[in-house]
Structure 1
Amino acid sequence: MFAGRDAITVAAWMRAHPSIEIVARDRAGAYSEAVDLALPAAKQVSDRWHLLSNLRYNVERLLYRLGPQLRQAAQQVEVGSMTLGRQGVLGHNSLRSWQRLSDRRRATRLALYERVMALRAQGGTFRGIAHELSISNVTVQKFVHAGAFPERTPWARGPTPLDPYRDYIEERIAQGCRFPELIVQELKQRGYKGSPACVQSCVARHLFPQGKAPLVQVPVRTIPCPSARCVFGWLVGWRKLAVEEPKSADHDQFVQALCKIEPVVGEVRSLAREFLGLMHRRSGRHFDRWFKRLSCCDAAEMRGFAQSLRADLPAVRAAFMLPWSNGQTEGHVNRLKLLKRQMYGRANIDLLRLRVLKPN
């Protein structure tokens, strides 16, 4: 443990250990200078984690600059009814939308019933049909023994806070009132404590019986504008980043829309994904070709990244060829920083050394 991170202190420690042949380090210039001073023959290897961190930092800088384009791309990604989660399903206030959903579910169940009966007519057993269709054996038995397609039993509704006011709702509709919001206000004056949505649904059923409600134009829902860090994860294809959900079709649509709006993002995406592939495969012989592409990128942030790599190019190239890395020590570095910050700078290096070496 050094009292500082200047080149002179690190070089003095290295002179005391002349047998060192390989130095895995981060991108700090002081460490590179110390190795050049004390052990010029040692092989320097840039840490791969810090290289990835530098890549992410520069891509995120580009995405921060493209904030309007991110919002424009997010507005082009429509959220499907099955991916809204707690926001609710589209069209719940429209009886027509609910009827279409119910019809689709019935059609799916009817198709399954017909497949079961067809396999049964061909001599299939209950267990064999269940295995082939990936359904329960009990479901197969119910379909076969039903004699005809078993319709769903209508849901039996229990008492609701709206029941005492149904006669009043019918009376107001008979008088020509067509505004559910007005009826809700009148019911609240009469003591109604329930949900306004129940009143709106009741009025709709009276105005449009048997599900013949007019088709209501439902506003299109789009995904919220993601953060630059999330977009970076979507661009390079990481399955999970921070608190984001696993990659979905919405993410793919967003990336495609963003690359179409701003073509430079597609170029940066290609460079970032190739960077990860080269690092994963330790493909040093293709690094120079990738670095040439990086230096000619249209994004100023990526050209700046290339300039920082050029200043430390031998160590960076070694990271793509050699297995050495100081990633194994990063956990201990994190623990050291935690202990240091717990002391709020009020203790010296001697106490910090004791807390690290003798934690009890």
Structure 2
Amino acid sequence: MRQHPQIEVVARDRNGGYRQAISEALPDATQVADRWHLLQNASDAFLAAVRRAMPVIRRTVCSAELDPGTLTAAERLQFEGFQRRQKTNVLIQRMGAEGVPIKRIVRVTGLSRGLVRRVLRGEREDVFRLRQSSLTPWFPLLEQHWQDGCRNGAELWRRLRANGFQGSLRVVGEWATRQRRAEAAIPHGSGKSPPSRKIARMMTSGRHHLSKADSICVAQIEHALPQLAQDRRLLDAFTSMIRNGEESGLAAWLDQAKTSGLAAFARGLSADLDAVAAALRELGPTARQKARSTG
């Protein structure tokens, strides 16, 4: 670096002595914290928070009951169907163990011969997954309107259309019908806790993109551990800041994070604040505008 004094900006990791080396070789250069490492450090901090909470998570996920208020209406309906399928699986496996012919099992259950064979081979364990459709990306907005009191399928469809939805009225109407049926569903716990890394991954994915069993698990955890749910929201906010170059929100984020499960990570950012702020500026609207004007 001393051989290239014309360098004005240096991107670096936040560890390993790079900060000191750059300061000595190029004291006037702007140091920018590498954005990939910032995102990785934030993910690691959230994983650490999940690991600290694992004793409570195990007790929560293995509990017998789940508060219906922690689930969306679609999740309640899907979980009810999942329970029915699991009971059918148990029935088929018990009949198979007793030597009941497949033909008779098919007649008793009403399922196809191929499906019965898959159950007997143990290939139909968890089918608790939300079917993807044109409506899938719109579930959060639908849930919001539903919770606000809009229960009419046609009105829900009109509201989605106003926001760019291109699907049919029938699809939205069927969704509304399923929500009304789901209101009375009473779910139960899933019984087994996944490992901490999987929990962190599930919590940082949208619940509508998870299998329904995983979605139920996340709902249980966030209901029992509101602080961990807040940590996840802080992680989401930090990720958004980094990806969009929103330097103006950094100070407020650090203030919120200092009493959270990400407090150690926030202290590290504060100690390297100039480089972190520079990383946001380099990606922010002003930097992008300059790049367009000179490109």
Once the two structures are superposed, residues 96-132 of structure 1 have per-residue CA deviations (whole angstroms, 9 ceiling, x without a partner) of: xxxxxxxxxxxxxxxxxxxxxxxxxxxxxxxxxxxxx
Shift of 1:292: 0.9
Whole-Å separation in 1 of the counterparts to 2:228 and 2:221: 7
TM-score normalised by L of structure 2: 0.55
Pick one of 83, 99, 102 that aligns with 1:198: 99
Question: Which residue in 2 is equivalent to 1:310?
Answer: 270
Within a 5 Å distance, the mapping from 1:229-308 to structure 2 comes to 229-237=197-205, 246-297=209-260, 299=261, 302-308=262-268
The size of the alignment, in residue pairs, is 190
The answer to whether residue 10 in structure 2 is matched with residue 39 in structure 1 is no
Correspondence for 1:28: 15
Q: 1:81 to 1:258 in 2, by over 3 A?
A: closer
Report SS of the residue matched to 1:91.
helix
Q: Specify whether residues 254 and 92 from structure 1 end up closer, same or farther in structure 2 by C-alpha distance, changes over 3 A only.
A: closer
Residues 92 and 311 of structure 1, relative CA distance in 2, 3 Å threshold = closer
Q: Is the 8 Å Cα contact of residues 26 and 50 (structure 1) preserved in structure 2?
A: yes
In structure 1, list runs of 5 or more residues that go unmatched: 1-13, 96-179, 182-194, 209-219, 240-244, 325-360
Aligned match for 1:322, one of 270, 273, 282:
282
* Matched residue SS, 1:44: strand
Distance 2:197 2:206 in 1: 11
Kept in 2: contact 1:23–1:45 (CA 8 A): yes
Q: Give the AA of the match of 1:19.
A: Q
What is the aligned counterpart of 2:6 among 19, 30, 34?
Answer: 19
Aligned to 1:90, the other structure's residue is in SS state helix
Change (3 A) 1:257 1:283: same
Larger radius of gyration: 1
Q: Distance in 2 between matches of 1:312 and 1:42?
A: 15
Instruction: Name the counterpart of 1:346.
Output: none
- Aligned-pair identity (%): 27
CA apart distance, 1:62: 1.6
After superposition, what is the alpha-carbon deviation per residue over 1:122-178, rounded to whole angstroms, capped at 9, x for unaligned? xxxxxxxxxxxxxxxxxxxxxxxxxxxxxxxxxxxxxxxxxxxxxxxxxxxxxxxxx
The answer on 1:72 being equivalent to 2:59 is yes
CA distance in 1, matches of 2:189, 2:222: 21
Q: In 2 relative to 1, CA 81–89 (structure 1 residues): closer, same or farther, beyond 3 Å?
A: farther
Alpha-carbon distance in 1 for matches of 2:104, 2:247? 71
TM-score (norm. length: structure 1): 0.46
Shift of 1:268: 0.4
Instruction: Give distance in 1, aligned partners of 2:103 and 2:26.
Output: 84
Structure 2 unaligned segments of length 5 or more: list them.
67-75, 109-187, 285-295
Alignment correspondent of 2:190: 222
The corresponding residue for 1:160 is none
- Contact in 2 for aligned 1:81/1:89 (Cα 8 Å): no
Can you list the C-alpha shifts for 1:50-94, whole angstroms capped at 9, x where unaligned?
A: 11111111211121121122223333579948659xxx7423454
Q: Supply the AA of the counterpart residue of 1:230.
A: K
| RMSD after superposition | 3.6
CA distance in structure 2 between the aligned counterparts of 1:29 and 1:203, rounded to whole angstroms: 68
What's the CA shift for 1:273? 0.9
Kept in 1: contact 2:241–2:280 (CA 8 A): yes
Deviation at 1:223, TM superposition (A): 5.8
Kindly state the Cα deviation for residue 235 of structure 1 after the two structures are TM-superposed.
2.1
Whether the 8 Å contact between 1:63 and 1:228 is mirrored in structure 2 is yes
Quote the residue 1:90 is aligned against: 87
CA distance in structure 2 between the partners assigned to 1:286 and 1:53 by the alignment: 19
